[in-house]
Amino acid sequence: MLKKIFQRDIPKHALKIINRSCQKRRLTSQTRRHPAFERSPVYFKEEEVILNKLIPQIREDVIDESLVYYNNMQKLRRHFENLFTHQVENLKSKYMPSAAITINFYKHFKKDYTEEELMKVGILGWCFKLQDISLIMVDDIMDESEFRYNKPVWYREVGVKQAIIDSLIFEHCSSYLLLKYFSDLKYFPQIQKELLQNIATANSSQILELDDFPLEDYEKYENLVKSYPFFVHSVTSVMYMVGVDDPHLHSIAKKMCMDISIFG
């Protein structure tokens, strides 16, 4: 996308916008923080264990739901199983930030959590990750990418048409999981809206990439495309799960997530 922008002349006011974004990064990386604000790195070891433990369960859930009218068609089942193996089971933990962050934030919001609760939040994390996979497949087609996660992108393996269908499969699998495990929650509609907002924001950014857009909008685009789809909805959905529904607090949380994502 950036290549498209920079292939044309850039007015001075637009360069100032881009430069201001770069200055923010430099200031953040160079400013020495007060010792009181120093903290050790966050490791997601427990989150990784939970997510990996859930894979067989969500695999069966989404395949069975997807093939409810095609139970006897082994060719379709093999396709789903192969798709899940390539896109989910072989996925390294460092490529699952939205899922791991979901569990980690729940642990911070609710100190007296149980193992059962963490497993359920892990399923919510997989709802987000399956949606991410769907968005990434389309993004790779849009960008004509060659590699993702250090391996060839999916559409170059199976073709564009099949990759588009597979991306839709992961999108509906995410919805199946959400309905099965969270439809009884008080704030289910709000959590569902967070997922819809996530994919709507990502799709809107793809529209911007199809055509040139005013460079005055570059900074806003940059902030949104980095905070969605991999961060904001994980935090806000967990807030609903622990009963935090104050619109003002959610607004603050989203603003903080977007600010953090600028430096991602």
Q: Is residue 217 part of a domain?
A: no
Instruction: Please report the pLDDT score of residue 207 as a whole number.
Output: 75
From CA 100, how far away is CA 162, in angstroms rounded? 29
Instruction: Please report the pLDDT score of residue 213 as a whole number.
Output: 62
Nearest residue to 20 (alpha-carbon basis) of 187, 130, 168, 28: 28
Instruction: Please report the pLDDT score of residue 168 as a whole number.
Output: 94
From CA 233, how far away is CA 195, in angstroms rounded? 7
Q: What is the pLDDT along the chain (264 residues), one digit of tens a residue?
A: 433 433 444 444 444 444 555 544 444 444 455 554 555 666 778 899 999 999 999 999 999 989 988 888 999 999 999 999 999 987 887 888 889 989 999 998 888 899 999 999 999 999 999 999 998 999 899 888 999 888 899 999 999 999 999 999 999 999 999 999 999 999 999 999 988 888 888 777 777 777 766 666 666 665 555 555 567 888 999 999 999 999 999 999 888 887 776 655
Q: What is the CATH number of the domain that holds 116?
A: 1.10.600.10
Instruction: Please report the pLDDT score of residue 204 as a whole number.
Output: 77
Nearest residue to 137 (alpha-carbon basis) of 175, 158, 167: 167
Torsion of CA 248, 250, 253, 255, to 10 degrees: -70
Instruction: Please report the pLDDT score of residue 84 as a whole number.
Output: 93
Which residue matches tokens 């699952």?
96
Instruction: Please report the pLDDT score of residue 228 as a whole number.
Output: 57
pTM surpassing 0.75? yes
Q: Is residue 243 part of a domain?
A: yes
Q: Is residue 125 part of a domain?
A: yes
Q: Is residue 214 part of a domain?
A: no
Q: Is residue 95 part of a domain?
A: yes
Q: Collapsing DSSP states into helix, strand and coil, what is residue 113? A: coil
Nearest residue to 51 (alpha-carbon basis) of 93, 17, 16: 93
Instruction: Please report the pLDDT score of residue 223 as a whole number.
Output: 55
Q: Collapsing DSSP states into helix, strand and coil, what is residue 74? A: helix
Instruction: Please report the pLDDT score of residue 189 as a whole number.
Output: 94
Alpha-carbon separation of residue 263 from 44, 220, 226 (angstroms): 20, 14, 9
* Domains of the chain: total: 1
Q: Is residue 218 part of a domain?
A: no
Instruction: Please report the pLDDT score of residue 103 as a whole number.
Output: 93
CB 40 within 8 A of CB 241: no
From CA 9, how far away is CA 183, in angstroms rounded? 51
Listing DSSP states for 14-40 in one string gives HHHHHHHHHHHHHHHHHSPPPGGG--P
Alpha helices in the chain (DSSP H): 2-6, 12-30, 45-66, 74-84, 97-109, 115-143, 154-158, 160-182, 188-210, 218-227, 232-241, 247-261
Instruction: Please report the pLDDT score of residue 231 as a whole number.
Output: 76
Instruction: Please report the pLDDT score of residue 244 as a whole number.
Output: 92
From CA 193, how far away is CA 241, in angstroms rounded? 13
Residues in the chain: 264
Instruction: Please report the pLDDT score of residue 45 as a whole number.
Output: 85
Nearest residue to 138 (alpha-carbon basis) of 264, 263, 229, 212: 229
Domain encompassing residue 110: 44-209+225-263
From CA 230, how far away is CA 40, in angstroms rounded? 22
Which residue matches tokens 């430096």?
263
Q: Is residue 200 part of a domain?
A: yes
Q: Is residue 4 part of a domain?
A: no
